[in-house]
Structure 1
Amino acid sequence: MAATSSVIDLSPASKAFVANRANSLGAWVIAGFLDAILMGIVMCQVGAFFQLSRRSQEGFGRHYHWLVALVTFLSLVKTGQSIAIVWVQNVSDFMNPDVARTLVATAWWQVTAPLLTAIIGFVVQSFFALRFYMLARNIFMILPIACSMLLGFGGACLQLNSIIVGNAKAKVMWLLVHLICSFMTDFMITVGTIYALRTRTSSGLASTISLISRLMRLVFESAIPSTLVAAVDLIMSQTLDANHLLWHLLLNYALAKLYAISLLYTLNCVKEYRYSRSLSGGHAQSLSGGRVPSSGTPGTDRKRGDVELGDRSNSNHVYIQTQVVTHVSPSQGSVEAEDLKHSGWQPDTWTKQLSDGVRRAVVE
């Protein structure tokens, strides 16, 4: 006859742990599945990065090899950590819930789960903060971002200490500090980068403005996922009750991988653009998949109807746009034609003069 109830004698705390297993154990299992799926995306991005590095002759890829290697290593460690947690809780200690329920506050590989996410986020945020500083060149604009990053990382470390000493109230407080600072750092980096790029579109050729617009879209595409997940993680950690609090781990695990994907996606887009530009001799695939004419090559952006002048030494023809203004004199009853020349520079020679007051020049 099959048993309909457990014959294991459990303590009251372990009975509650088993009865609430959908939340106490299920959250870790689902978070591990999500982490493994996102790890596959990270590895695809890493493969694309090194494939582009082999084809590219520029130093850009080699310069960031160490950063990609570091983020990949940390992502693999995070995935290994999630596998270890699920294995120990659900396999090794399957028949010993008195031990399994205490792992969340005693086992170092389980206690450090939020800290490892904070380390990955700190590395990636440092890269984007440095990129923002290279655009803005203003130390006062980068200081709030640096302070927010350091405070958020410090909050993650203090949260770990609160878990070890068993101070539940301090743990929640420092978790709140960490999540708020992570969200504010992502938000300030995104807004600051967009502002720095927009200040460069006030003047310049149409191709430059178009490229900057695509860069701004790239910033949104790479920053919005991690920023939104950090915001939702913050909300869940403050609104869920004690029995369901562990479900915020889904967002915490996803956030670590989204930071890595954001970094790799940005690097791959820039590398692909530079590689396409070098192959096409000045006309490259844009960061969003379109064609971007190079500002160093003379030509016309036919979509916008703008004329671009590049290096004169590489140009065989120079076209001069002229405008005819006609004055009618009532006293004389005659028509006078005056030619107004509009050009970015004065041509050296005139080869042909047309009638009716219109002069056009073509310099071979």
Structure 2
Amino acid sequence: MSEAFCAHAEAAALILANVDLNGTMGIAYIGGVLSCMVYGVTCIQTFHYFRSQQSRVDAWYLRNIVALLLFLDTGHQAIIIQALYYYVITNYNNPFAFLRASWSIPTEVIINAVIAFVVESFFVLRIWKLGRNVYVTATAMLFTVAHFTMNLYYPIEQFYNPEFPAGVEKLKATGSAGLAVAVVADTFISAAMVWYLHKGKSGIRRSDDMIGRIIALTITTGGLTTTFVILNLIAYQLRPQLLYNLAINFLLGKLYINALLTSLNSRSFVRSGMSESDAVSVSLSTFAFRSAHLNTTELSGSDSHRTLADGSLSKVSSEV
């Protein structure tokens, strides 16, 4: 047996002795399995949206956003499978592969960044339609752009620093800052939507019930994504050299997508218990458009019905 081979075997054994397989490939595998399950939910929600009557009257850009997100999520899932295949199959019994990040790892983060930007921008538009407040909307968009920028900067830097664990330590401050900005962005967007919705309550029981359902959905979907971002930040801070944060990151983009799809597919639930005439009778002023000085008398019956057919039930229940 040659001396070089012995040295190589000793180095491989040393790497394996210092690698926590449960905290690296084990948790990454679990994250990959869970991401497959959530991707299935994305497909079901997308199918439900496109076969619904509401999608046929939605604006063209809304249908394109849903199609784009399904395309991005499909690519995202393929990248996750490639990453796991690379480490578990292609480099089976090759512990030296653990010393460098595969190209698929930063690529997965970039796709997540694009997904988060599209979804957050969608909800920022909802904030504008709810409140018509330039300062609040601009602040929400600023946080969204900052989140997107940090989410792009980190994986691009990782392409140039793929070494493990040196690259992880070098990029820890950047990664932590990006996750912190994500928490702020998601929290601000959800809080702004809930605030404007709450202000829109008029005392009319049926309209207030509808607003209550929207608020509950906003808190549930927004709270879920924010919780996972916080967990990602905690995992990255406490154990940056393990892959708990990567496993959580596998799920983040899919949670963003399903937050948007849930808001679209839940519109019949939001309007449950209200007839079309009840829904039409709810003025735009009820839904926080008071700043625009709109009231029920300013809306003709045809305008109200067009609002309903536009897929936006007073620009709130259908797209929030």
* Shorter-chain TM-score above 0.5: yes
> Is the Cα–Cα contact under 8 Å of residues 159 and 172 in structure 1 kept in the other structure?
no
Q: Which residue of 2 aligns with 1:84?
A: 82
**Secondary structure of 1:208's aligned partner:** helix
Q: Which runs of 5+ in 2 are unaligned?
A: 1-5, 162-166, 282-296, 302-320
Matching residue within 248, 253, 256 for 1:251: 248
Deviation at 1:207, TM superposition (A): 2.1
> Aligned residue pairs: how many?
273
Query: Considering only aligned residues, what root-mean-square deviation do their CA atoms show, in Å?
Result: 2.8
Per-residue CA deviation, residues 93-136 of structure 1 (Å, 9 max, x unaligned), is 113332x22441xx322232222222211111111111111111
Q: Which residue of 1 aligns with 2:317?
A: none
**How far apart, in 1, do the equivalents of 2:10 and 2:149 lie?**
37
| Amino acid in the other structure paired with 1:133 | W
**How far apart, in 1, do the equivalents of 2:218 and 2:129 lie?**
15
Assess, with a 3 A threshold, how the Cα gap between structure 1 residues 169 and 186 changes in structure 2: closer, same or farther: same
Matching residue within 102, 107, 115 for 1:120: 115
**Secondary structure of 2:9's aligned partner:** coil
Per-residue CA deviation, residues 224-247 of structure 1 (Å, 9 max, x unaligned), is 1111111111111112253xx311
Matching residue within 129, 140, 150 for 2:135: 140
**How far apart, in 1, do the equivalents of 2:114 and 2:47 lie?**
23
Q: Which residue of 2 aligns with 1:194?
A: 194
Scaled by the length of structure 2, the TM-score of the pair is 0.77
| Amino acid in the other structure paired with 1:263 | L
Q: Which residue of 2 aligns with 1:318?
A: none
Question: Aligned runs of 1:26-175 on 2, under 5 Å?
Answer: 26-52=26-52, 55-56=53-54, 59-60=57-58, 62-98=60-96, 100-104=97-101, 107-166=102-161, 167-175=167-175
**How far apart, in 1, do the equivalents of 2:279 and 2:70 lie?**
36
**How far apart, in 1, do the equivalents of 2:115 and 2:55 lie?**
29
Q: Which residue of 1 aligns with 2:15?
A: 16
Scaled by the length of structure 1, the TM-score of the pair is 0.68
**How far apart, in 1, do the equivalents of 2:55 and 2:38 lie?**
30
**How far apart, in 2, do the equivalents of 1:14 and 1:66 lie?**
51
Assess, with a 3 A threshold, how the Cα gap between structure 1 residues 14 and 38 changes in structure 2: closer, same or farther: farther
**How far apart, in 1, do the equivalents of 2:168 and 2:54 lie?**
52
| Amino acid in the other structure paired with 2:132 | R
Structure showing greater radius of gyration is: 1
Q: Which residue of 1 aligns with 2:273?
A: 291
Q: Which runs of 5+ in 1 are unaligned?
A: 1-6, 274-285, 298-309, 314-364
Assess, with a 3 A threshold, how the Cα gap between structure 1 residues 165 and 31 changes in structure 2: closer, same or farther: same
Per-residue CA deviation, residues 331-362 of structure 1 (Å, 9 max, x unaligned), is xxxxxxxxxxxxxxxxxxxxxxxxxxxxxxxx
Deviation at 1:56, TM superposition (A): 4.3
Tell which has more relative contact order, 1 or 2 (C-alpha 8 A, sep 6+). Answer: 2
Question: Aligned runs of 1:161-240 on 2, under 5 Å?
Answer: 161-166=156-161, 167-201=167-201, 203=202, 205-240=204-239
Identity of aligned residues (%): 21
Deviation above 4 Å: which 4+ runs of structure 1? none
